[in-house]
Structure formats: C-alpha cells, structure tokens
Structure 1
Amino acid sequence: MSNASRFKFFKSHHVPTLTVLKAAIGDFSYAPHAHEEYAFGVTLAGRQDFFSGGQFHRSPPGNVILFNPEEVHDGHSGGERALDYLMVYAHPEQVKPLFADVLGHERGADFRSRQTLIQDAPLRQAILELTRLVTSQAGSCIDQENALYRVVERTAQLGGHVQPSQVTHRPEALLDLAREYIHAHLEADMSLDDISQAAHLSKYHFLRLFRQHFGMTPHQYVMNGRVNAARAALDQGTPLTEVALRFGFADLSHFNRRFKRIYGMTPHQYQRDIAR
C-alpha cells in the first residue's frame, strides 16, 4: 500500500455551501472530529475503516457512508491497498427545505439518518452524479440542485428519524445552551467555567454529561468548532493569518496542524483548491 495521501476539495459554483472532497489515503488517519454539514460519501477502492456512534465500521468499495451533522467520527485506510473515496458536504440550511419537501412536512427539515453504512445502488449513483457535476463544474444551477435533491430524496426513503424541534428533556436542553454558547463565542477566549455556567451546571456534572452527549470533551468540541468556522472563513477568501488570529490559533503552524487533522491538507492548500 502506498503511504502517499492526496486530498482535493471542489466548491460548487452554483449551489452555496456545497463542497466535494476526493481523497486517496495511504498512511494518513483522521483525528476524531465532526462537521456542521451532512456528509454523503462513497468508498471507491480499498477499505474505509472508522469509528462513529460508538461502533467500528468497515466500508468496502461501493458502500455509501452517511454522517449526520455533528456526528463524531475518525477514519483511515483498512486492508492491503490504499483507500480512494469521495465525500459530498451539504450544509443543513441547504438541505433542510429538501428534506421537508420529501417528507411532506416542516418537521422533516430536522431529519437524521439512522444508518451510517448503506448498501444502496440508487443512492450511490445519485451521489456519484452530484459529484460529477460539481467536480467538472458541469450543468446549470438547476442541474446541481436537482442532483442534490435526488441524494436527499433517496436518503429519506431509506429511513431515519426527525429530531424534535423543541428539546424538553432537561439535560439535553442545558447542553444545547452550552453548544449555543460555544458557537457564539468561537472567536473568544472561553473557559470551562464560562461554558458550564452558560449551561447552568456544575463543572463536574457538565464535563460528564457533555462527553456523553456530544462524543467529545468540551475542549475537543471547541477546537473542532473553530476549525470548521475557520474553513468557512477560508471559503470567503479571508487571509490565512487573519483566520488563525480570529479563531485563537497560536500561530500558522498551530492552525496548520489542527486543520490538517480534520481535512487532510493545510489551510493554504484548501484555499488554493476551492479558488479554482
């Protein structure tokens, strides 16, 4: 198996917040992380091994991988040969109206798939077609929107559940306060005391509940959120040094290390890819 790894991102020129990753992985391993977006992937060659939802998964060629927003996972190549795969990232605000339309009611917007590994030829083909349109910048805006709709439609047909619009269970409601506080203060120097106080919980109780609920420590969650927010800033063309400073990275070297653990490339390489 080759030790070399290659990553290339493509931004849709038509559909806002739609991004495709094409990757070939040798000895690289993703650190545990989560994305704000829905992630629809296809394993093309080799085997994709990863932990998600407290379970270890192996994805052979042809399998679909689906991560809901903020679903913690890692990933690396398994088996004898290098791993080739692609992943489509679609922001919830882009696909919520599509899920609502497919499911026939507004609450459908909060759809979450129950499956992480999926063997389904129609969904695989829908993802591959959307990827083709984005990576080749082919077709019109409505072509790419329709291709994304087909991915969402088939995903919903395969089953899932709709999250309640109002969280009423007290621990979850308090942890949502913590999550909202973190996302509102990613550019600030926040402490554990700040976050636990926002959730109206003692620090000890907060730490235990937070990790159980989100699958990460608060520190990991904050750093993950800062890297994702930094990526959004890079999408807007913000200079690297400004992004690093804004989100509290000590220097560009620190920013590079954190970003690469999640996206497989440096911020500079990512910004160069999406500018094409």
Structure 2
Amino acid sequence: MSNASRFQFIKSQHVPTLTVLHAAIEDFSYDRHAHEEYAFGVTLAGRQDFFSGGRYHRSPPGNVILFNPEEVHDGQSGGEHALDYLMVYAHPEQVNALFADALGRDNTADFRSNSTLIQDVQLRNAILELARLVTAHAGSCIDQENALYQVIGRTVQLGGISQPHQVTTRPDALLGLAKEYIHAHLDSDISLDDISQTAHLSKYHFLRLFRQHYGITPHQYVINCRINAARSALDLGASLTEVALRYGFSDLSHFNRRFKRIYGMTPHQYQRDIAR
C-alpha cells in the first residue's frame, strides 16, 4: 500500500465505544473480516465495492452502507476515481438499549438491519452529523448521544429483525457453540479439532458448514477475532508487544501485517490516532 491510501480513526470523547473511520482509498483492499460493532457508513466520493451477505455490492457517492455485528465483508475502491468514505462504529452494548427504545420495547434488543446498501437521505445525514460531532470533538455528551439515537431510530424505521424472536436452526446453534469456544480461547493455541469437537461436528463437515454460513474459514475467523480483541486492548493502552504475544502473533511484524489487512494501518498508527 502506498501513501495514496489514508486512514484515520477518531474516538468519541463522550460516548464509550463510538469510533469514526475516515478513509481515502486508491490502492488498498480489505481482507474479508467482521467487526463486533454495528458499522454505519457513507460513501463520500468514488465508488465503494465490497462483498457482504453472499453477494457483491457497489456503493456510489451518497449511499449508506450498514454492517450488522459479525457480518463478514471486505472492501476496495471501484471505478476510475479514488474512494472516500466515513464509517461510524458503535458496539452492541452501547446501542442495544437505543434499539429497544426505538422498537418500543422495555428490554434491550439485538437488532439486525434487513439491508446492507441503503439509499436514504435522512439516514445519510444523521450518520454524517454524528461523524462530524465525533471527528471535530464538537458538542457535549448529550449532543453526541442524541445524534447516535437519530441514526438508530432511522435504521429501525427502514426495517430489520429483532433477534430474540428468530428461530435458531440446528446448524446455527452448533456454529454458535464453535464461535463461543473461539471467543473464550483467543489467547490460547486452539486447533481446528478443538473447535469442531465443540460444535459436535466432524472436522471437514465443520469446515464446509462454517465457510458456507459466514463466507470465511474458521482460521480466518480466529485471526479476525484476535485482531478485534487486540484492537480493544490497544484502546485501553496496552503495549504493542504485550498485545501481539497475548493473541498468538509470532512477532510485531506478523501482528502488523494482520492488523493492517483489516484496519488499513499498523497497530502503532491506530493507537496513535485514538490517543489524539
């Protein structure tokens, strides 16, 4: 990747877990990955090409992109012009109560949007306003919370599913056991045998089923989860060497390469950004 592509992460000074990414991409492609957070994005210029939900999408300027937590995707610039976009990340723990309120419920809700690529001026403007407040370190806590609520409220109006009412299929349940095992052992040397046995499936059946459901291999998922956990540790100020060793990377060079394929920058650059 050359200097033609630029990435900047900005954390909210008021709302925990709320982070904005401003990216300008010409010659960079994200590996397939997933975030723990909801991701609300707006394509500002160029064209945003990406895979998600088993299909390929193209987002021209003005479109909204919405990724549910753990929704596998990649991304790159498409067309003749450089890609410029914003993405706002908010952890489910931060917004589940907002989703429940927008849905008119008393209890928190794990909401999933029906759409990935959305043309809606109201939602686009709400995301841009929230991103402006965070990136400019503007407004009070209540200003940013209200802007976040506007994004959540409009997202609910555009349609989705509250997960507690979904019927869980047997494959979903078995793969859920595997994912729980992975998350509980991110700092351990786990094997494919360990994970497949947890899911009560043969290794090769598990491999096929996992990739069919999530669009990535179990190995890619483990690496992705370790990188996400590493990012959380960096948010708390942990040292690069400590984080790399804790999550099974052989050295800083290995950690740097893996982190950059998902976040567009090295762990050091990321930690420097969020400290501003």
TM-score range, shorter chain: over 0.9
Q: Write the deviation string for residues 207-255 of structure 1: whole angstroms up to 9, x where unpaired.
A: 1111122221110000000000000000000000000000000100000
Partner of 1:241: 241
Partner of 1:261: 261
> What's the CA shift for 1:63?
0.5
> What's the CA shift for 1:167?
5.8
**Residue ranges of structure 2 left out of the alignment (5+ in a row):** none
Partner of 1:174: 174
Paired letter, 1:271: Q
Cα distance in 1 for partners of 2:210, 2:219 equals 11
Cα distance in 1 for partners of 2:77, 2:165 equals 37
Paired letter, 2:145: E
Partner of 1:121: 121
Partner of 2:157: 157
**Residue ranges of structure 1 left out of the alignment (5+ in a row):** none
Cα distance in 2 for partners of 1:207, 1:76 equals 27
TM-score for both structures, normalised by structure 1: 0.97
SS at match of 1:104: coil
- 1:197-236 correspondence to structure 2 within 5 Å: 197-236=197-236
Paired letter, 1:18: L
Cα distance in 2 for partners of 1:66, 1:229 equals 22
Paired letter, 1:121: V
Cα distance in 2 for partners of 1:171, 1:97 equals 29
Q: Write the deviation string for residues 138-193 of structure 1: whole angstroms up to 9, x where unpaired.
A: 11111111110000000000001122368642221111110000001001000011
SS at match of 1:139: coil
Q: Write the deviation string for residues 98-127 of structure 1: whole angstroms up to 9, x where unpaired.
A: 000000125661110111111111101100
Q: Is the 8 A contact 1:47 1:79 kept in 2?
A: yes
Partner of 1:270: 270
Q: Is the 8 A contact 1:167 1:173 kept in 2?
A: no
How many pairs does the alignment contain? 275
Partner of 1:194: 194
Q: 1:167 to 1:176 in 2, by over 3 A?
A: farther
Cα distance in 2 for partners of 1:215, 1:108 equals 28
Root-mean-square deviation (CA), in Å?
Answer: 1.4
> What's the CA shift for 1:49?
0.6
Cα distance in 2 for partners of 1:168, 1:5 equals 41
Paired letter, 2:225: G
Partner of 2:44: 44
Partner of 2:23: 23
Paired letter, 1:216: I
Paired letter, 2:96: K
Q: Is the 8 A contact 1:108 1:162 kept in 2?
A: no
Cα distance in 2 for partners of 1:106, 1:55 equals 35
Cα distance in 2 for partners of 1:262, 1:128 equals 23
SS at match of 2:164: coil
Q: Which moves more between the two structures, 172-181 or 106-115?
A: 106-115
Partner of 2:250: 250
Q: 1:145 to 1:136 in 2, by over 3 A?
A: same
Instruction: Confirm or deny that 1:102 pairs with 2:102.
Output: yes
Q: 1:221 to 1:133 in 2, by over 3 A?
A: same
> What's the CA shift for 1:69?
0.6
Q: Is the 8 A contact 1:123 1:154 kept in 2?
A: yes
Paired letter, 1:84: D
> What's the CA shift for 1:202?
1.5
Q: Which moves more between the two structures, 175-184 or 157-166?
A: 157-166
